[in-house]
Structure formats: structure tokens, C-alpha cells
């Protein structure tokens, strides 16, 4: 590449670093909150996409960065997204075409008009040059729906798009912090129930509570699955073995008693150890209320009554309150924290 194509300096700080090499500096656009997209280079990682806020976390001498989902480590520049790479290519192409246009115009000595006439009188030749149009440079699009969190160890502000485990900067285990943020969002939803009942009616408020219970059980199930996968990987299980185990587990983590049996069989741990029997019973009964909410529009059916053996009437709305859900979050958090401590307390990461 010649100087006529890429001129040194400019907004991208173009610099020749070898006979056929140049360097360019360009910043990746951030979203409205100052977060920049990152993507795990491990093809098998899902979801792989996350965001970080530059200027937080480790700001000097960072040699490694980490995927918050699979803890794949690479140099910080190794986590560019496909859209960011394409954005950089567009800038290079834009600068190249601009340089080529200017080089041709200068070589032909066309001047500001873009035209030049040779000869005169009866015989003359006019030369003109129409430069190629510059290709557009489109900033990379960033995903919006996300979970924001700040690492309690290094202070990195980042966002993930699923239940994650690791800090992208320091690589520390912050799984329990992610869980706390998930439950915090549900607590905020519940705190708004009375206002929504007054503004939108009792049925809307009831649906808010029912949806919150579904979300709590889903978080509990997702956390149990995530810890199961992580422990099996640490024990040397292959991806096929892990998927087979998850297939056998199915939706057992949605049921308190079945989740306890899985943990006893798989990890030799008493999942509900240290809980009061009344707490266990309340947790089990509230978990069971998810069935009619999810599968029967919140109406009590025979299958639900056979499991809970309570005095509720078939065909009526299932009874669930914000206090029930707060209890489930409090007790469920204690269960998940204890299991996490048991499974990973000896893990130095």
C-alpha cells in the first residue's frame, strides 16, 4: 500500500508500520449507556454475547479477559463481535476508496473541476474523472434486552444476556450476584402490584403476581441447571454426557422434592439441609402453584389438588400472594447459596 492510498494521520491516526503495512486506530461505538458489545470467541458458547463499560473494572495492564458464560480466556481484543469487525472493514474500505480517488485525480492533474483539456483549436481532448462513491460506514447494532451487573471484586460494569457466572475482567465467580439481580427485578415488580391493581384492576395485578411466581421458579430451575452443568464439566464429563444427564433430569428442578432427589443422586448433597420443615412445606406448595398458572390459566385443576392436598376448590383461581413469592425467593436463595458453596467452595476461581 502506498502513501497515496492511505495518508498518515487523520481521525483514524493512520501510520505506516512496514513496507506494506499500516496501522489504524478506531473506537467501537458504545450504546446509550456507554456499554460496548463483546462476543466469546468460543464457537460452542451460548449465548456468547455480552457488554462491558470501558473505563470500569481493570483499566490498566489487562492481559486477559474472560467470557462470563464459559470462562474462555483471551486477550481483550479477542472478544470483538462480528458486527464490530465488519464496521472496521467498512472504515478501511472507505478510507481506501477515498485515497484511490484522490490519487487518481492528482495523477491526472484534473484540478478542482475534475476535468482537463488537452490541445486546442480544431483538435482538443477533454479528460474527466468521476470518482467512485464512498461506501457507507454503518455503526454496529447493539442488542438491547440485557441484565446489568457490577462486579463486586473489580468494579467492572457489564451486561449479560443470560444467567452468567464469571466477571469478564477479573474472571472471578459472581454467579450468586447474578442470581441476586434476577430476584431483585422480581421484588421491584411485586412492589408495584398495589399501584397496578388500583390503576388497571384486580385481574392485571393477579397476573403480575402469577407471572412473578413463574419467573421465580424458572430462575431456580435455571440456576440448578447451570450449577449442574458446571460441576459436571469440572468432573470431566463430555458435552454429550452433560446433555444426556439434562435430558434425564428434564423439568425436575421445578419440583422441590424431585430437585432434592437429583442433588442426592448426582452430588451426594442434602439440598434442603438446615431448613425448617414448615419452610420446606411452604416452598413445595408454592412451587406447585406454578402448574395451574402455567398450564391452566391459573385455575385449580385435579392434578394440582392431587399434589398439594389442600382445601382449594377445583375450578377456582389458585391463591398466591406477593408474600408467598417473597418467601420462595428468600428460601430459594438460601438453598442455591448453600449448594453453590458446597459444590464450588474449593474452586479458586
Using a 10 angstrom Cβ sphere, with 0-12 exposed, 13-18 middle and 19 or more buried, the burial of residue 89 is: exposed
**Residue 319 pLDDT:** 75
**Residue 104 pLDDT:** 75
Q: What are the backbone angles phi and psi of residue 16, rounded to the nearest 5°? A: -80, 125
**Residue 349 pLDDT:** 54
pTM of the model: 0.78
CB atoms within 10 A of CB 345: 7
The segments of the chain whose pLDDT lies below 70 read 1-4, 111-114, 118-125, 145, 294-318, 346-349
**Residue 259 pLDDT:** 95
Give Cβ neighbours of residue 294 (< 8 Å, ≥ 6 apart): 214
Amino acid at each position: 500500500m502506498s502513501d497515496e492510498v492511505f495518508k498518515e494521520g487523520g481521525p483514524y491516526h493512520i501510520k505506516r508500520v512496514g513496507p506494506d503495512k499500516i496501522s489504524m486506530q478506531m473506537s467501537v461505538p458504545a450504546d446509550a449507556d456507554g456499554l460496548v458489545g463483546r462476543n466469546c470467541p468460543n464457537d460452542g458458547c451460548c449465548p456468547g454475547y455480552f457488554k462491558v463499560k470501558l473505563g470500569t473494572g481493570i483499566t490498566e495492564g489487562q492481559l486477559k479477559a474472560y467470557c462470563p458464560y464459559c470462562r474462555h480466556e483471551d486477550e481483550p481484543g479477542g472478544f470483538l463481535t462480528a458486527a464490530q469487525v465488519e464496521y472496521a472493514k467498512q472504515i478501511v474500505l472507505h478510507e481506501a476508496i477515498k485515497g484511490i480517488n484522490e490519487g487518481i485525480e492528482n495523477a491526472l492533474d484534473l484540478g478542482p473541476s475534475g476535468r482537463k483539456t488537452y490541445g486546442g483549436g480544431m483538435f482538443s481532448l477533454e479528460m474527466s474523472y468521476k470518482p467512485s462513491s464512498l461506501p457507507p460506514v454503518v455503526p454496529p447494532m447493539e442488542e438491547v434486552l440485557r441484565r446489568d451487573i457490577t462486579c463486586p471484586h473489580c468494579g467492572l460494569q457489564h451486561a449479560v444476556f443470560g444467567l452468567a457466572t464469571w466477571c469478564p475482567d477479573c474472571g472471578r465467580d459472581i454467579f450468586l450476584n447474578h442470581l441476586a439481580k434476577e430476584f431483585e427485578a422480581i421484588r421491584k415488580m411485586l412492589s408495584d402490584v398495589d399501584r397496578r391493581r388500583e390503576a388497571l384492576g384486580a385481574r392485571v395485578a393477579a397476573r403480575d403476581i402469577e407471572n412473578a411466581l413463574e419467573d421465580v421458579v424458572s430462575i431456580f430451575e435455571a440456576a440448578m441447571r447451570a450449577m449442574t452443568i458446571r460441576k459436571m464439566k469440572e468432573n470431566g464429563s463430555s458435552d454429550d454426557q452433560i446433555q444426556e444427564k439434562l435430558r434425564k433430569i428434564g423439568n425436575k428442578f421445578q419440583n422441590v422434592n424431585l430437585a432434592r432427589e437429583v442433588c442426592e443422586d448426582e452430588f451426594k448433597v442434602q439440598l434442603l439441609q438446615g431448613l425448617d420443615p414448615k419452610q420446606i412445606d411452604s416452598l413445595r406448595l408454592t412451587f406447585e402453584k406454578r402448574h395451574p398458572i402455567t398450564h391452566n390459566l391459573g385455575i385449580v385443576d385435579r392434578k394440582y389438588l392431587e399434589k398439594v392436598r389442600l382445601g382449594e376448590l377445583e375450578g377456582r383461581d389458585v391463591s398466591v400472594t406477593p408474600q408467598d413469592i417473597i418467601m420462595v425467593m428468600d428460601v430459594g436463595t438460601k438453598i442455591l447459596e448453600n449448594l453453590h458453596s458446597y459444590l464450588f467452595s474449593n474452586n479458586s476461581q
